[in-house]
Structure 1
Amino acid sequence: MKKLMLALAVASLSSAAIAQETYTVTDVPVKEKSVETNSFWSNWFISAGVNYNAFYSSQEEGISKNPFNDRGKFGFNVAVGKWFTPGLGIRAKFDGVKGVQVNGGVWSPDNIDFDYWNLHSDVLFNLSNMIFGYNENRVWNFIPYLGAGVIRNCSQNNYMMGANVGILNTFRLNKRLSVNFELSALAAPKSFDGIGYKASGNKIWRGADKVFTASVGLTVNLGKTTGFRKAVDVDALMALNASQLDALNSALAAQQNENARLKEELAKKPKEVIKTDYRKEYVGAPRSIFFNIGSSQIASRKEIVNLQVLADAVKADSNIKLKVTGYADSATGSAAFNQKLSEKRANRVADELVKLGVSRDNLVVEGLGGVATLKPNSYNRRVIVDVVK
């Protein structure tokens, strides 16, 4: 009976070792063109740039349309906005500040400068993401927009509504910074420049003052969260889990068959005892202790139970040394912060081993900073304890 119980214990330890060796962490399947909606405070941005504005008055007639003569003025713009989805966003933008009332030919004294500003809201459509799917590393994004707002001729002290349309092109430099190049048009009432006169002709556009603008500037993404996370493919995840469960069941069935074979052999040879030191092999298996994001406190006190076997082994054999290696996930925090955090986590586990009776002389403690070796990222917030004898 004692030999039978020993065989069953050996088989159980073998099963645990096999389960630990064959377990792997796989990527979570995601949908290629679907994303998770972020919180309200995510995906905000600010931008600023310089403009070249070309003014076309409703009253002008028979004058060169060249935008680079005295109908052109330099200005600036600032904007703040938010992306609600990869394809749809809004922004509030300020443009200004010098305009020209075009009445005569090139460099005519009849052309009068005035001060103005244009404050408008725009709806942004990122066609690159809408057509080709979201890609946070895409270099060029093509973004048409429509908008409306309030414009003011400061020299005439009058306010009126204006309509805006344009194309915004952004060129990604890094996660936070992009260069933007924009072409836009503003349509305003014919009295915007101070003269409410319409030149002859039946064309609709003749009844409005117009401003055509080219601008270049920088966009800065704000907040801790930039971009969007791909939505989990639930069907694919369920299929993956099912395949992993099938593989686990197959491994379990094979081990049960092996256990039955061992039991049968023991029944035939009752006096033979297998003396393989399975406990030594079990003790040598690395232990992982997990932590919550940004924390050096062990996530669960149940994790300490995993250290007891190692502590007992070291106390029984003072030649055994334990290597305690701390990690953080590189997806959050700076490199310097993650290095300190990984060291704090390693020292925390080392302290727990000391409480269990392990001498610090038997511990090798180090922190390796942020890593991205496992998926999901939460699996990288860990300390590994391994036997180095």
Structure 2
Amino acid sequence: MKKIALPLIATVLAIGTATAQDKPYNKWSIDLNAGITKPTNPFSDGYYTKDFNFIHADGGVRYMFNNKFGLKADFGFDKFENDDDSNTFETKYYRTSLQGVVNLGRVLNFEEWTKALNLQAHAGAGYSWMTNEKFSDKDQMGHFILGLTGQVKLSERVALNADFTMINNVRQDKTWDGASDVSSRGFDGTMYNATLGLSFYLGGNDKHADWYFGDAVTNKLAELDSRLTDVENKMVDSDNDGVADYLDQEPNTPAGAMVDTKGRSIDKNNNGIPDSFETYLEEKYGNLNKDVVMNVDDSALVKELINKGYVAVYFDFDKSQPTTIDGINFIVTYLRSNPAASVEVIGYADAVGNANYNKQLSEKRANNVKDILVKTGVSASKISVTGNGVDSTIDKGSNSARKVARRVIFKVK
């Protein structure tokens, strides 16, 4: 027995030493268990055992690589005998095993609902032998073993274990009663153990790997932190319009613009300028108050609107004098606020009538607007005039479109 058990224990000790690292938990334990045993087959005719045979005992040393996986070497002993109505026999069974251990409580995050209950699975293989007065020497065999162990934490140093294990022998020569040979030497020898026992935890740390939740808690906190970061990133509002970027369909709305629930500038008249800007600019710069000077930001915005054609002067059909000078007011205020700037006045006509006539009409419109600018104090040297004739981009069949075509626009430089 020593020739088999001691090398297995030495193997576990060697692996534990080789993989030892500084961890905030203990890794070693001694596991001792006792209980009942039940061999099921093979038996000779006329032989059978009690439903529950006492005694079974096992003990071993276990090393946990981390709080989820480990390795243990153990030795077990079983004694069972005939039932009252069976032919008499008494058999003793010995085994030594090397098993892998999975700490299911940590794998399945039991700590989320309990800190005192745990479950482990173990499986492995080993060497075993059996003795019986009905045959000489001993019946030697290999075996596979697997089981489940429930644990109740009694303290940081001791846990109560309840284990159920199945052992399946390979190359078993004799029946469990010892009275006859086994016809097949495959996986025919089956035995079950049910035990209660204790795990004694060794080491200088406060907790054992069986009950260490730190990694899971750390991972959970990291996951929550990541999710919180995602939420915070989604709530970023780059343009400060009150709509988070991930919902904002117009994430570059100018500051102060009124937006809808999707972050889009409100533009009821569909002229491409946010209504809040139109109101702001109209109230602040829509007159010829000489005391008003545009700030840098407003100047940049007004220049952009002017050069995109949003600031315009409109005319009635076949007329060269404007119907309103509101657009001219913006030009005057911009030029007064930016003394180095100049402006190009560009006239258009609709498509009704002769093209040459409309060319001349567009030039007259541009020159008349220039005259108005000069009268308001803009130097003529800063104004250039162009007559572009018919605006071919406008649908000449639409009356409302033709009204838009009869206009003067501006380009400031």
Q: TM-score, normalised by structure 2?
A: 0.40
Report the structure number with the largest CA radius of gyration. 2
Which structure has the higher relative contact order (CA within 8 Å, separation 6+)? 1
Q: TM-score, normalised by structure 1?
A: 0.42
